[in-house]
Chains A and B, each alone.
Chain A
Amino acid sequence: MIVPFSHILLLAGVLFSLGMFCALARRNLIMIVLGIEIMLNGASIAFVGSALHWQQLEGQAFVLFILAVAAAEVSLGLAILLHAFRRTGSFDPEAYNSLK
């Protein structure tokens, strides 16, 4: 016996909102990408918990795909970030205000 399913959902919700806070409130593009990672992590916990609750392997399979998508997102996101940093010299989103 572990814990009720609702407690796992609450933990996932708290992690997701922490990530959302990080993605919305920070003025640094690296921290914004980190926030998205934290949100994906919270979603993974919810999926693994529901896989245990309904005793279906689908939830765990989905977490596998979340992992792959997160890896692709981070590699491409950081490449774009470095590209933008070399042009503007800053990680502040407010520095990217010209289309040229």
Chain B
Amino acid sequence: MTLYGFLFYVLAAVVTASTAVAVTRRNLVHAVVYLIFSYFGTAMLFYLLGAPLLAALEVIIYAGAVMVLFLFVVMMIRVEASGEHFFPLSQWIPAALFSLVYLAAGSVLMLAAPGTEIPLKMLTAAPRDFGLYVLQNHWFFIEVISLLLLVALIGALQLGRKQEGLSREEEG
């Protein structure tokens, strides 16, 4: 096993473990902080798999912006921490059984597919080349994405404003 392979397995273990911990936390702040760890690990995985620009974007957008947005919402609102209950065990067993069958079948399929057992070569898409490629071949979708973000911005603003009007009507 090469150094890069070793790094991949270490990062994969950290990402999986921190995500699993985050998913099972009852405290929302703890869950969000564990997910930030997970996203940092994912960014390093992206770098390892030859996508340095995406690694930077993952840290900036996911670990930076999205998770901070979650933290804001969690801290803005007092959530009763212990009110949540998980499903009873009798409902867990069939679900876990089916999931295990699918996991086994999926693993066999992925490991047995031809051509996937050869270790991948290290290759890096330089940020400049990647940016040029995206803007030359997918410029239209970049515009669509910017429109989508604008619509999301307007929608979020509208949702925030409409609520005030509603509560005033209810008071009056």
Binding site for B on A (CB under 8 A): 1-11, 13-15, 17-19, 21-22, 25-28, 30-31, 33-35, 37-38, 41, 44-45, 48-49, 51-53, 55, 57, 60-61, 63-65, 67-76, 78-83, 85-86, 91-92
| Across-interface contacts of A28 in B (CB, < 8 A) | 28, 79, 84
Contacting A at CB under 8 A, from B81-128, are: 83-87, 99, 103, 106-107, 110-111, 113, 115-123, 125
Give the size range of B's interface with the partner: 35 or more
Once bound together, how far apart are the Cα atoms of A7 and B53, in whole Å?
Answer: 23
| Pairwise interchain contact A27-B84, C-beta atoms closer than 8 A | yes
| Pairwise interchain contact A38-B19, C-beta atoms closer than 8 A | yes
A95: min CB distance to chain B, Å? 10
Instruction: List the A residue with the shortest CB-CB distance to B129.
Output: A57
Once bound together, how far apart are the Cα atoms of A77 and B12, in whole Å?
Answer: 29
Assess whether B37 is interfacial by the CB under 8 Å rule.
no
Once bound together, how far apart are the Cα atoms of A6 and B106, in whole Å?
Answer: 10
| Pairwise interchain contact B134-A15, C-beta atoms closer than 8 A | no
